[in-house]
Amino acid sequence: MKSHTIIFILLTAFSAQAVATQLAAHQQPRLEDYEVGEKWVWKYKGVTSKGEERASGIDTKEIVSVDGALHLKGEDHTTLLADVIAPSQSPTPRYDWPLKVGKKWTYEQSWQSQDGTEGKTSQVAEVLSFRKEKVAAGVFSAYQIRYKGKITNSRGYSANTEEIFWYAPALKNFIKLTQIQDDYKYVEELIEYSIPEK
């Protein structure tokens, strides 16, 4: 009888934890959530269905202090962190905070490439799950967010797209993403995350 009671208690605890996980909601990170020396390193690769490699490399971002203000330093530029994390005023944002399983929204963005080509991304986003995900940098609780839609540009190009982002609240960043655009697949995965010891 005692063993049945223990099993029931354990099952109840696991069920409660699963429900709590599904009900969890996370707000956008604040400036005070970051600290100097915090660093993320991703490895990325993009390949066509014919095996042609179009992108490959390492991307690093680090929090640095410039004149006493926090900045996000990338490979070729440094940006004031307050600007990077400023709440989006767009009615169609990349992330619709707070994140919560089951949430849906429309993501739209107009852009211009380096050669002057103008384009637009239009997708329906949905938070599919919140659970532990394993990547090269470790195991982290992350939201799985799917974006499906189209990308078009001023040169007449049009392609169906599907992107999956795994966003980890504890790291304030995505830990993995996959993008499929017609015959092209791009994958980016976090291979290192570090924070200064206190």
Q: Domain coordinates of the chain in residue numbers? A: 2-194
Mark the ranges of the chain whose per-residue pLDDT is less than 50.
Answer: 1-22
Task: Give dist(CA 143, CA 167) in Å, integer.
Answer: 5
CA dist 147 and 31 (Å) reads: 27
What CA–CA distance (Å, rounded) separates 66 from 68? 5
Q: What span, in angstroms and rounded, lies between the C-alpha atoms of 179 and 133?
A: 18
Residue 198: per-residue pLDDT: 67
Strand partners, 155: none
Query: What pLDDT is stored for residue 114 in this prediction?
Result: 83
Distance CA 24, CA 99 (A): 8
* Res 13: pLDDT: 42
pLDDT of residue 113: 86
Cβ–Cβ under 8 Å, residues 81 and 34 = yes
Rounded to the nearest integer, the mean pLDDT of the chain is: 90
Give the model's pLDDT for residue 197.
Answer: 82
Supply the pTM of this predicted model: 0.84
Q: Which helix (H) or strand (E) holds 65?
A: strand 53-66
Residue 66 CA to residue 42 CA, distance in Å, equals 24
State how far the Cα of 42 lies from the Cα of 138, in Å rounded to an integer: 12
The CATH class for the domain spanning 2-194 reads mainly beta
In order of 9, 100, 166, the CA distances from 14 in angstroms are 9, 20, 23
94 within 8 A of 177, measured Cβ to Cβ: no
pLDDT digits (tens, 9 = 90+) for 130-183: 999 999 999 999 999 999 999 999 999 999 999 999 999 999 999 999 999 989
